[in-house]
Amino acid sequence: MKVTKAVIPAAGLGTRMLPATKTVPKEMLPLVDKPVIQYIVEEAVASGIEDILIVTNRAKSAMDDYFDYHPELEHRLERSGKLHEAETSRAVADMANIFYVRQKETKGLGHAIWRAKRFVGDEPFAILLGDDIMYTEQGAPALTQLIAAAEKYECSAIGTREVDDEHIVKYSSLKIKPLEERIYDILDMNEKPTLETKLSNHAIMGRYVLTPAIFDALENTAPGAGGEIQLTDGMRALLGRERMVAVDFNAKRYDTGNLCGFLEATIDYALRHPEAGDWLRDFILRKAEMLK
Residues found near ligand G1P in the complex (CB under 6 A): 109, 129, 132, 171-172, 191, 203-206, 231-232
Please, what is the minimum distance in Å from the beta carbon of residue 204 to ligand G1P? 4
Instruction: Say if CB 130 and CB 54 are below 8 A apart.
Output: no
Beta strand spans in 166-266 (E): 172-180, 183-191, 202-210, 244-247, 252-255
Which residues are within 8 A (CB) of 276 and not within 5 positions of it... i.e. 6 or more apart? Answer: 32, 270
Which segments of 202-246 does DSSP mark as H helices, in order?
A: 214-219, 231-239
Q: Quick one: 74 or 228, whose CB is closer to ligand G1P?
A: 228
Beta strand spans in 85-226 (E): 97-102, 125-128, 132-135, 156-162, 172-180, 183-191, 202-210
Which residue, 8, 260, 11, is CA-closest to 119?
A: 8
Please, what is the minimum distance in Å from the beta carbon of residue 237 to ligand G1P? 15
Q: Quick one: 31 or 109, whose CB is closer to ligand G1P?
A: 109
Please, what is the minimum distance in Å from the beta carbon of residue 82 to ligand G1P? 39
Find how far residue 98's CA is from the centre of its chain: 15
Q: Quick one: 74 or 132, whose CB is closer to ligand G1P?
A: 132
Please, what is the minimum distance in Å from the beta carbon of residue 250 to ligand G1P? 17
Which residue, 145, 161, 163, 162, is CA-closest to 153?
A: 145
Which residue, 265, 256, 208, is CA-closest to 44?
A: 208
Q: Quick one: 67 or 171, whose CB is closer to ligand G1P?
A: 171
Please, what is the minimum distance in Å from the beta carbon of residue 212 to ligand G1P? 20
Q: Quick one: 85 or 264, whose CB is closer to ligand G1P?
A: 264
Q: Quick one: 125 or 171, whose CB is closer to ligand G1P?
A: 171
Please, what is the minimum distance in Å from the beta carbon of residue 206 to ligand G1P? 4
